[in-house]
Structure 1
Amino acid sequence: MAQGAILVVGSLNMDQVVRVTRMPVVGETLLGAGSLKLVPGGKGANQAVAMARLGGQVAMAGRVGRDPFGERLLDALETERIDASLIVADQDEASGVAFIFLSPDGDNSIIVAAGANMQVGEDEEQFARILAVLRQASALVLQLEIPIETVKRLTKAAAEIGIPVILNLAPAQSLPRATLSEVSVLILNETEASILSGQRVESVEDARIVAAVLQGYGIKTVVITLGAHGALLVTIDDAGKMHNIYQAAPRVSVVDTTAAGDCFVGALTVALTEGQPPEDALRFAVHASALKVTKFGAQSGLPMREEVLASYHS
């Protein structure tokens, strides 16, 4: 891994997407609209690709199966010039897959069969290789589609050597306070914030209250995404002063919301590792994720940096 690259440790899934007129109810069979689409995805891989397209130098660690999906998932990363040397082809498990039902308004329902993703960090040889390159990283980016124990161990290791940890709490799960206190930037949506804090998030003001609560866990920066309503970033500067920064989202025509959150994480990470001020980083991330929802597919719909910058003036 190149010195100063962003290290992503996370999931790779082959998304199997079916368009539906509405979501089926229990016991019902619906005919999909059009053909099955296969699109490279997985929260970790989506975030890695988003960072690469937005100007970041990226390496990724994870696991795939020894199957055609695994080969295609690796090809997708290499096409984006992402260092995939820390990705292992698992001997026993199949590549992860996600079954996505996409409605006409762009919303989705997703079921993930994790496969090899749930072996990330269980292989001590791979884990040792990840630790060996961690010192060279500008930041460590994690999500929760890999084993929680791996997330905890990597967060602790990064904190001990002073590498900032960006954690996307998705899919929503509880984590020990000790682990959360080692996180530099916590990114979560309204649902995830509600689950973690025990308080409902239904407005920007709710988000401000919950972000302050979560900062009490020892997290320097908490970011709560609010879908079409933008995002809120709460951070403490070096002087100990708290800043509440809100960024509204531009209005766009929604095609597919898949990976919008991953795009946000990728964009925010790139901007922060470049040293952009929090308000500029938040603006960049909100505009990037807004562009994502205008295009079909997880990785296929992720925007380029020039598109995001141009969207500021559109």
Structure 2
Amino acid sequence: MATGYRSTMRIAVVGQIARDLVLTVPEVPEPGGRAVVGERREMLGGKGSNIARGTRQLGATAALVGVVGDDREGRLLVERLDADGVATTAVVCREGSRTALIVDVVCDGEYRYLMDIPTATLVTAQDVRAAAATLAGADAVVVQLEQPAEAALAAVRAASGLVVLDGAPDGRAAELLAAADAVRADHGEAEALTGRSITGTDAAVRAGRELLARGPSVVALEVPGEANVLTWGEDSAVIPLTDEEVVDPTGGGDAFVAALTVALVRGDDPEDAGRLATAAAGRAVRHPGGRTDLTGLSPVPSRH
């Protein structure tokens, strides 16, 4: 694991790039019904884009390994990434494919996704091999595990710095966990990784210990509506969620991963890293959509 403060951090992210269409509605209509959209936003999205942009806002040099289609939307998303300061030399324009689209329908603090993610817009092992220099030169590589397991495994093997896994893989879990330094999982992903029901913070600590035994040095698990639970070595920390009103949870996990990675690379201890990450997630859920500004973020204070 990275130790010692670093003034310049290079972070590479392997993950999804998508066009996000966010629609806020007062109620979700029944079949045959209709609802008037109160707010509409169109933006750069996808977990990979969100994480890379977050690390850039927190002071890192960010690079993204992802895929767009060879259409107007894909070109615009790459231009937006460039404008956000994220390096796009490892972004692939997939010939013959449309760019991924995620429709986020937001109602009463909850989301419903409609997703058009062509298989061709997923990262392949070949894409990862083409980006080997970017990954090997990074202080940390974040791998978003909604990408194919073979591509994820190629990414962790190409990394020379800190390896952060986000989510639960569809296969090759043992190899991926063995190669990881840090793992973050939401509630459903944590249950998938451990094969157990996680009903509270004590259960999350036990689940974290199980995952530590499989390879990583730091594990961060979500307990919905209550806390983020960090485990490392012989220690653990339960970090209560912030008090922000949840408008849309989309992007909260992405902001968490971005801040956790930056903090660990610069040498923060896991509890402090978890407090910064929890503050990032709190900022992300205050608005519709996953596009968040983490500039000037301060960690959640200790309640000891």
Q: With structure 2 as the length reference, what TM-score do the two structures score?
A: 0.89
Match of 1:149 in 2: 150
Could you tell me how far apart the structure 2 residues matched to 1:58 and 1:189 are? 24
- Decide which of 248, 253, 268 is 1:256's aligned counterpart: 248
> Would you say 1:286 and 2:278 are equivalent positions?
yes
Could you tell me how far apart the structure 1 residues matched to 2:115 and 2:285 are? 20
> Would you say 1:114 and 2:105 are equivalent positions?
no
Aligned to 2:60, what secondary structure does the other structure show? coil
Query: Which stretch of the first structure deviates more once superposed, 40-49 or 245-254?
Result: 245-254
Could you tell me how far apart the structure 1 residues matched to 2:101 and 2:271 are? 36
Could you tell me how far apart the structure 1 residues matched to 2:202 and 2:299 are? 30
Identity %: 26
Aligned to 1:305, what secondary structure does the other structure show? coil
Q: How far does residue 116 in structure 1 lie from its aligned partner after superposition? A: 6.3
Could you tell me how far apart the structure 2 residues matched to 1:151 and 1:187 are? 15
Match of 2:231 in 1: 234
Q: How far does residue 174 in structure 1 lie from its aligned partner after superposition? A: 4.7
Q: How far does residue 62 in structure 1 lie from its aligned partner after superposition? A: 0.9
Match of 1:239 in 2: none
Alignment of 1:55-66 (within 5 A): 55-66=59-70
Could you tell me how far apart the structure 2 residues matched to 1:108 and 1:211 are? 27
Q: How far does residue 269 in structure 1 lie from its aligned partner after superposition? A: 0.6
Match of 2:196 in 1: 199
Could you tell me whether the CA contact under 8 Å between 1:7 and 1:141 is conserved in 2? yes
Could you tell me whether the CA contact under 8 Å between 1:94 and 1:116 is conserved in 2? no
Any idea what the Cα deviations from partners look like across 1:170-191, whole Å, max 9, x if unmatched? Answer: 5x64543122111111100111
Could you tell me how far apart the structure 1 residues matched to 2:113 and 2:71 are? 22
Aligned to 1:251, what secondary structure does the other structure show? coil
Any idea what the Cα deviations from partners look like across 1:233-278, whole Å, max 9, x if unmatched? Answer: 1112xxxxx1111211221122221111100000111111111111
Could you tell me how far apart the structure 2 residues matched to 1:119 and 1:169 are? 16
Instruction: Give the CA RMSD over aligned residues.
Output: 2.2
- Stretches of structure 2 that go unaligned for 5 or more consecutive residues are 1-7
Q: How far does residue 228 in structure 1 lie from its aligned partner after superposition? A: 3.3
Equivalent position amino acid for 2:146 in 1:
E
Q: How far does residue 305 in structure 1 lie from its aligned partner after superposition? A: 3.1
Match of 1:96 in 2: 100
Q: How far does residue 297 in structure 1 lie from its aligned partner after superposition? A: 2.1
> Would you say 1:270 and 2:271 are equivalent positions?
no
Match of 2:298 in 1: 309
How many correspondences in the alignment?
295
Distance 1:23 1:31, change over 3 A: closer
Equivalent position amino acid for 1:107 in 2:
E
Could you tell me whether the CA contact under 8 Å between 1:54 and 1:303 is conserved in 2? no
Could you tell me whether the CA contact under 8 Å between 2:47 and 2:251 is conserved in 1? yes
Could you tell me whether the CA contact under 8 Å between 1:118 and 1:147 is conserved in 2? no
Could you tell me how far apart the structure 2 residues matched to 1:83 and 1:66 are? 19
Match of 2:4 in 1: none
- Decide which of 26, 31, 52 is 1:21's aligned counterpart: 26
Could you tell me how far apart the structure 2 residues matched to 1:183 and 1:24 are? 43
Q: With structure 1 as the length reference, what TM-score do the two structures score?
A: 0.86
Aligned to 2:225, what secondary structure does the other structure show? helix
> Would you say 1:129 and 2:119 are equivalent positions?
no
- Decide which of 79, 86, 89 is 1:82's aligned counterpart: 86
* Greater share of residues in helix: 1
Aligned to 2:113, what secondary structure does the other structure show? strand
Q: How far does residue 71 in structure 1 lie from its aligned partner after superposition? A: 2.0
